[in-house]
Amino acid sequence: MATGIGRGNCRLAAGGKVSTASHRAQHAAEHRDNHLDEHRDEHRHEHRHEHRAGHQDEYRDQDRDLHKDLHRDLHKDLVLPYGDQLNDGVVQVSFTLPVAAGALAEEAARQAMRLMGLEDPQVAEAAAVGENATFFVGYGKLTRPVELSKLRVAKPMWEELDQGTINRLVHETLGRPMVVVGAATGQDAHTLGLDAILNYKGFAGNRGLEAYSAFKVINMGSQVPNEVLVAKAREAKADAILVSQVVTERNVHLANLTNLVELLEAEGLRDKVVLVVGGPRITHALAIELGYDAGFGPGTRPQDVASYLAQEIARRHVELGPLHE
Amino acid sequence: MLRLNIDAKTVDRCHEIADNITSRVMEELSSLSTVAIERTVARFAGVDGVTGDGVPLPNVLVDHLVQKGKIHDGVAIHLANACLALGKTPVQVAQMVAGGETDISSLEWQGTQEVTKKAREMVQDCLDKIKARRAEREALLEELPVTQTPWLYVICATGNIHEDAVQGRLAASQGADVIAVIRSTGQSLLDFVPHGLTTEGFGGTYATQANFRLMREALDEESRKLGRYVRLVNYCSGLCMPEIAYMGAVERLDMMLNDAMYGILFRDINMERTFVDQNFSRMINAYAGIIINTGEDNYLTTVEAFDAGPQVLASQFMNYHFAKKAGLKDEQIGLGHAFEIDPGIQDSLSYELAMALLVRQLFPACPIKYMPPTVHKTGDIFSSHVLDSSFNLVSVLTGQTIHLVGMLTEAIHTPLIQDRYLSIKSAAYMRRAAKHLGHNLQVKPGGLLETRAASILEDTLELLEEVNQEGLFAAISEGVFAGVKRQRTGGKGREGVFKKSRWYFNPVEAALRAELLGVS
């Protein structure tokens, strides 16, 4: 069975506007929306399409190459959600509307999905979750592709190293373990993430920083005021500060994180430490924006943080000379 | 019912040792009281409200006595003496102290007999009120019976009590039997109780008396609508354990989290402060007919759950004996544990089943509280839902009583409205589908479940013996529980612990001891 994309390509080729490979790529880029619209139309009118199959046979050989190229380009650069066929755009959503269950609620759900940019919105499940609320599971299709080449991704600049390499790198760089002070700051009483990264036990079989000879870990626990953390970092001559923020209600973490940067700057410590923040709602981009050196989100393993810290301290040592001298 | 064949002698010995460990702690601390206990006595005497700066009047009164060096006598006799000397009510006296109009530590002494009598009288209304509220709950439970177990327990935590009331009612209408309003992060370390209705909180809603009242009223209304009494829960932990116990008693809360060691281990609250506050707060819980929930689930989320079985059981034995000494009946002691073994371990479900059965069987009359998986959850909400289903099955199969419903979005955020709907639906399904399954199965003698349970029980006895040998204070300072080490002289709130003078008198404690333990 031909894929939906394949059929779309047939139409482009039939238009006779494509000659060379580079043109084809350009053409594909210019017409991607158009192309995907056509694909969608065809999908919807599959019956009509089958009637035209004989007509397309004339172009079969030519199509095959074109299909391969475009398919690859699309696959590489323009992507749509993958349901059961490549780039079919199928999206599954669930949400609740504050509307009593019934026909009006379902239409409201379909409209909500259209507003999300989904075509062909389908309500698979509508369940009353109270007198005036309905829960929906819905399906729709995303039609505008993501252009991978146009994305800018902020990622900490590090590669994964094994424990031995990390230990060696740090000791070669500093001639001593790297002092890491960690805390869940402000009102945050959650130490699960912090403990998973720092404590010997680690997380999901990945040992924490305490298990590395490369690090001397000071885990200050929860609800640590920024002032206390900064004082501790100064006293312990910290090379790195790890801040954990789990509670993010009303963006309380943002103010708290910014405050820490300001305090470190005021104390003249900001450039002397590698400043890292982690938490379920933290991204590297957000961390950079807040004035941190790196940010780690959900699923981060201790080894990720250890790899980063070792490489960052080594980089700084080379670029800026020894710290705390 | 599924039953393990366990060694009765080992169980008896565990009880005996736990009884001994807890007796020693209570004896050692019997000469101490705390500022939180004294503030609670002031509240029993009707001292409520805040100053213009928002300082609660009970704090004003107790701080005043601390400053004057008279707190060692307890707040009651100075307050009662002031009422007699000034011809005022307790709250009027507190207002005068707040306004700097009187120094109650230096008023003319009205005579020991008169003052003691007045002290007893001034807390009597409140004691009567709590008794009435308890009777009210009992009547409601008869009128609006809860017939299904386990009770499905869900959490609301919007930060805004008005929103919590809406969400709590909604959850109840979806099938929840118990609604917990979790507290704002950090409240456990406040040495006062916030006042009035609150609409801002972090990761939860502040526990205040006004918030308790609003929530209980909302759930009463919903209970009548559903024909099923919906229980309300809050947290009796932190630096204000007894004050919050008082508030819960007066506002007819039905359950309160109250662990003997949680504050010490996980909030770094001073040991003496915690044990002393714990005892008094549990006496209030007992008198109010409240079910306490202990927090052994926290060990399972802190250390490797597969290995934590003996710690959990040892703590349950001690929590149980502390509770009994505070006058709680078995049916008020909701010992906690959790389903937290790494699902990647082969036979993890069997190990969970063994532990759940063991706990159920060791404390047959206690309403066991079972907490859902959290540690091994990720953003994969679908797999999370599957894990919760396994938890639901074990809970129903082993006859747990208080079932905290797991949320598929546990690892991501506080529950959305649909998360609660899906989780309750799934738990209710298992409660129905596996209702009599446990009654029709037997544990294979000497098989995996029994072997596992027996080894946990043996290790528990060994651990209790170790704790008994060095004493609980020393055991905690060596990190026996949850791997957390705390020193007896360390931790927050230590400055609020004081030695009672020979004139010390606490009319609330006297009344509760007489009522609960038959001691006068």
Task: Give the model's confidence band at A156: pLDDT under 50 very low, under 70 low, under 90 confident, else very high.
Answer: low
A195 lies within 8 A of chain B by CB: yes
CB B184 within 8 A of CB B160: no
Q: Note whether residue A12 is domain-resident.
A: yes
8 Å CB contact of B159 and A249: yes
Task: Give the model's confidence band at A73: pLDDT under 50 very low, under 70 low, under 90 confident, else very high.
Answer: low
Shared-domain flag, residues A132 and A101: yes
- pLDDT tops 50 at residue A10: no
Pairing of strands B178-181, B231-235: parallel
Long-range Cβ contact pairs of B218-222 (< 8 A, separation 24 or more):
B218/B165, B218/B166, B218/B168, B218/B169, B219/B168, B219/B169, B219/B172, B219/B179, B220/B140, B221/B169, B222/B168, B222/B169, B222/B172, B222/B173
Can you give the pTM of this predicted structure? Answer: 0.81
A280 lies within 8 A of chain B by CB: yes
B interface residues, A as partner, C-beta within 8 Å = 159, 170, 173-174, 185-186, 188-189, 200-203, 267-268, 301-304, 375, 378-379, 411-413, 416-418, 421-422
Task: Write the CA distances from B107 to A62, B98, B102, B115, B119, integer angstroms.
Answer: 107, 16, 9, 12, 16
Shared-domain flag, residues A171 and A250: yes
Cα gap B481→B483, rounded to integer Å: 5
Of B173, B304, B378, the CB nearest to A130: B173
pLDDT at B411: 80
Shared-domain flag, residues A307 and A171: yes
Task: Give the model's confidence band at A223: pLDDT under 50 very low, under 70 low, under 90 confident, else very high.
Answer: confident
| Total structural domains within chain A | 3
Shared-domain flag, residues A16 and A134: no
Q: Note whether residue A137 is domain-resident.
A: yes
% chain A with pLDDT above 70: 70
Tokens of B212: 């308790």
CB B11 within 8 A of CB B464: no
Q: Which of A76, A107, A123 is the last residue of a domain?
A: A76
Cα gap B308→A201, rounded to integer Å: 14
Q: Note whether residue A156 is domain-resident.
A: no
CATH of the domain at A106: 3.30.30.60
Active site residue B369: yes
Shared-domain flag, residues A177 and A302: yes
pLDDT at A233: 95
Shared-domain flag, residues A285 and A312: yes
CB neighbours of residue A70 within 10 Å: 24
Give B254 or A70, the one with higher predicted confidence: B254
Shared-domain flag, residues A173 and A316: yes
Tokens of B192: 């006062």
Give catalytic residue positions of A: 201
User: Measured between beta carbons, which residues in chain A are less than 8 angstroms from residue B378?
Assistant: 298-299
- pLDDT tops 90 at residue A39: no
CATH of the domain at A305: 3.40.50.280
Shared-domain flag, residues A99 and A70: no
Active site residue B425: no
A93 lies within 8 A of chain B by CB: no
Shared-domain flag, residues A181 and A128: no
pLDDT at A51: 41
Say whether the peptide bond before residue A322 is cis (omega within 30 degrees of 0): no
Cα gap A226→B336, rounded to integer Å: 34
Report chain A's mean pLDDT, rounded to a whole number: 78
pLDDT at A9: 33
User: Measured between beta carbons, which residues in chain B are less than 8 angstroms from residue A254?
Assistant: none
Shared-domain flag, residues A259 and A313: yes
- CA Rg value for chain A: 27
Task: Give the model's confidence band at A193: pLDDT under 50 very low, under 70 low, under 90 confident, else very high.
Answer: confident
Shared-domain flag, residues A264 and A142: no
A207 lies within 8 A of chain B by CB: no
8 Å CB contact of B170 and A133: yes
Q: Note whether residue A325 is domain-resident.
A: no
Nearest to A185 by CA among A217, A225, A125: A225
A127: left (phi over 0), alpha (psi -120 to 50) or beta: beta
User: Measured between beta carbons, which residues in chain B are less than 8 angstroms from residue A245?
Assistant: none
Q: Note whether residue A261 is domain-resident.
A: yes
- pLDDT tops 90 at residue A44: no
Tokens of B56: 């609660």
Nearest to A254 by CA among A289, A219, A230, A224: A289
Task: Write the CA distances from B159 to B162, B173, B183, B434, integer angstroms.
Answer: 9, 21, 8, 36
Q: Which of A147, A173, A188 is the last residue of a domain?
A: A147
> Which of A96, A125, A129 is the best residue to mutate to test the B interface, defined by the most B CB atoms within 10 Å of its own CB?
A129
Q: Which of A76, A106, A121 is the last residue of a domain?
A: A76
8 Å CB contact of B185 and A195: no
Pairing of strands A146-147, A274-278: unpaired
Q: Which residues contact B430 (CB under 8 A, 6 or more apart)?
A: B389, B392, B393, B395, B396
Compute the 3-state secondary structure of chain A and give helix, strand, coil in percent, each to the nearest 5.
50, 20, 30
8 Å CB contact of A129 and B375: no
Q: Which residues contact A313 (CB under 8 A, 6 or more apart)?
A: A170, A173, A174, A178, A239, A240, A274
| pLDDT, average across residues A292-311 | 92
Q: Reading across the β-sheet that carries A133-142, which strands appear in turn?
A: A90-97, A133-142, A118-130
In chain B the domains, ranked by start, together with CATH numbers, are 32-124 (no CATH), 146-451 (3.20.20.440)
Cα gap A284→A119, rounded to integer Å: 33
Which residues on neighbouring strands pair with residue B33, listed in sequence order? Answer: B498
Task: Give the model's confidence band at A56: pLDDT under 50 very low, under 70 low, under 90 confident, else very high.
Answer: very low
> Which of B184, B202, B222 is the best residue to mutate to test the A interface, defined by the most A CB atoms within 10 Å of its own CB?
B202
In 3-state terms, what secondary structure has residue B445?
A: coil
Task: Give the model's confidence band at A256: pLDDT under 50 very low, under 70 low, under 90 confident, else very high.
Answer: confident
Task: Give the model's confidence band at A228: pLDDT under 50 very low, under 70 low, under 90 confident, else very high.
Answer: very high
Shared-domain flag, residues A176 and A312: yes
Q: Which of B262, B320, B351, B370 is catalytic?
A: B262
Write out pLDDT tens, residues A84-133: 999 999 999 999 999 999 999 999 999 999 999 999 999 999 999 988 99
A318: left (phi over 0), alpha (psi -120 to 50) or beta: alpha
Q: Note whether residue A25 is domain-resident.
A: yes
Q: Note whether residue A158 is domain-resident.
A: no
Query: Could you give the ipTM of this predicted complex?
Result: 0.86
Q: Note whether residue A94 is domain-resident.
A: yes
Range of the domain at A61: 4-76
Of B186, B200, B418, the CB nearest to A96: B418
Per-residue pLDDT tens digits of chain B, which is 520 residues long: 899 999 999 999 999 999 999 999 999 999 999 999 999 999 999 999 999 999 999 999 999 999 999 999 999 999 999 999 999 999 999 999 999 999 999 999 999 999 999 999 999 999 999 999 999 999 999 999 999 999 999 998 788 999 999 999 999 999 999 999 998 877 888 899 999 999 988 778 999 999 999 999 999 999 999 999 999 999 998 999 999 999 999 999 999 999 999 999 888 899 999 999 999 999 999 999 999 999 999 888 878 899 999 999 999 999 999 999 999 999 999 999 999 999 999 999 999 999 999 999 999 999 999 999 998 888 899 999 999 999 999 999 999 999 999 999 988 887 888 999 999 999 999 999 999 999 999 999 999 999 999 999 999 999 999 999 999 999 999 988 888 888 999 889 999 999 999 999 999 999 999 999 887 6
